[in-house]
Chain A
Amino acid sequence: MSAVAQIDDVSFAHPGSELRALQRLSFRVAAGETVAVLGPSGAGKTTLLTLLDGRLHGWRGLVSVLDAPLDPDQPQPRARRADTGFIFQEFALVERSTVLRNVINGRLGRMPPLRAFLGNSSPRDLKIARDALIDCGIADLAERRVDSLSGGQRQRVAIARCLAQEPLLILADEPVSNLDPARAAEILALLTGAARSRNATVLFSSHQPELACRFAERVVGMRDGRIVFDAPAANLTNDTTAELYRETAPFSRPSLRAVG
């Protein structure tokens, strides 16, 4: 299978930060895969997903997304940005706009610039947005303002916006960290199911190993900007994930260190 995302020996430090958020990282995602990224706070999960979304600048190494290389010194062209969808940890919705408006915002990159600005969405754009609302189970909330919604409902709006964008690669940053356990499983089922039916590849980060194993085929562990394990979900043991979140000196055994 062809690679949807390929990273070779990439290092990156956030501007103004000494610490390298990504350290000589190499990583590959095949088309159609569902991959989970686990790791303690500050491991670099958000940084990795943002890199693949084409919104980081000044990294070193090679990155290729959807069969085209990314340039670390140039903003990504508009057309390509629409092909990767990003679900933000804190939703990043426009609070004072309606649910439907927020979901249509996901289509802005698919419209000609002038039409996007003037806001006369085509019937096709509207249909795609409405279908995304139905898939996320929030068709009845279309006219509600986002600032009147619960956390779980906002998460659904954020997913619907991403689906309306029709991305080939979906990058979801802790899509269930703000939800209770039952809701979390529901949302992950929704996200991975919708992605599968659209033939989209999914990479999501999480702090919940059980959920990651349940909904992803493959699980990647990150720590200090490095990948410390990368295994099929079926092979992952509780010991491995427990070690990932331990406070000091994890993966000190030579065999595992070699992976990072």
Chain B
Amino acid sequence: MRSRGLGGFAAGSFVAVAVLWSFATTDVDFSRIMSAGPRIADFLGRMIPPDPTVMDEIIKGSAETLRIAILGTLGAVVLSVPFGVLASDTMAPPALYQPVRTLLAFIRAIPLILVAMLLVGAVGLGPLPGMIAIAFHATGMLAKFYAEAIDGVSRAPISALESAGAGSLARLRYAIWPQMAPVVVRDTIFRFELNLRESLILGIVGAGGIGFYIQTYVRSFQYEKAASVSLAVIALVIAIEAFNVALRRRFA
């Protein structure tokens, strides 16, 4: 009990020091927040009405974002199948699945935007670094989900098919896959939705997609155009959500 009390005190002191240090060394001027109201109103006011002349850019940018998300997700699926198998404790020995799981956790911990920036440096501007970044980043989560889908399969129907004399491929198709399929489809759709949302910002670091136009218009004070593109982004997210709901219902 005593040591726990000491530990609690140490943790409390640490948090207090961290907060004080942040206040003391950062320029936190609260009066700026107070005077921000009119400026935000002015900003929003200039966004209305949205500028319809950027329709071409919206369509081009949305299409590119969609392509980045689709191909990025495809890449993530291709990578996640083998890594999912290697990270599953029913398919791989501990000596294999433990390091693979650690690797996946490490990949998940790297922010997408950082991966995208590094890739823009490596392969140049455009949608290609965006796709690779999405594929890499999403694999950290999707491979983990696939491994869980494999490990969640009930053994009994597999034993039943084994008892009937079915070979391993037939067991995979008729006992393992039917149990896994809804989970795999659901997780893949979920990840696609995340990929689409996350790929909207990739343009900010030059990795392609609609985010590029928001960035450009805000930087050049063309707020009406920025507003139109932002509205298109919101509409896109809602459309994807509706599409996913329909898909999930189909595969429930």
Q: Could you tell me which A residues sit within 8 Å of B by CB distance?
A: 53, 55, 78-82, 84-86, 88, 90-97, 101, 105-110, 113, 116-117, 119, 161, 165
Contact = CB atoms under 8 A, between A and B. Distances in A.
Contacts of A113: 167, 169-170
A88 B166 contact: no
B164 A106 contact: yes
Given A85-B164, A94-B175, 4 more contacts: A55-B162, A80-B165, A88-B156, A105-B160
Interface in B97-140: none
A93 B165 contact: no
Contacts of A119: 173-174
Interface in B165-183: 165-167, 169-170, 173-175, 178-179, 181-182
Contact of B174 (A78, A80, A88, A105): A105
B183 to A, nearest CB: 11
Contact count band on B: 20 to 34
B161 interface: yes
Which of A78, A92, A161, A165 has the most B CB atoms < 10 Å from its CB?
A: A92
A116 B170 contact: yes
Nearest to B166: A108
Interface in B151-203: 156-157, 159-167, 169-170, 173-175, 178-179, 181-182
Interface string B67-81: 000000000000000
Contacts of A79: 165
B165 A92 contact: no
A55 B166 contact: no
B159 A117 contact: no
B161 A96 contact: no
Given A92-B157, A92-B160, A93-B160, A105 B166 contact: yes
Contacts of B173: 117, 119
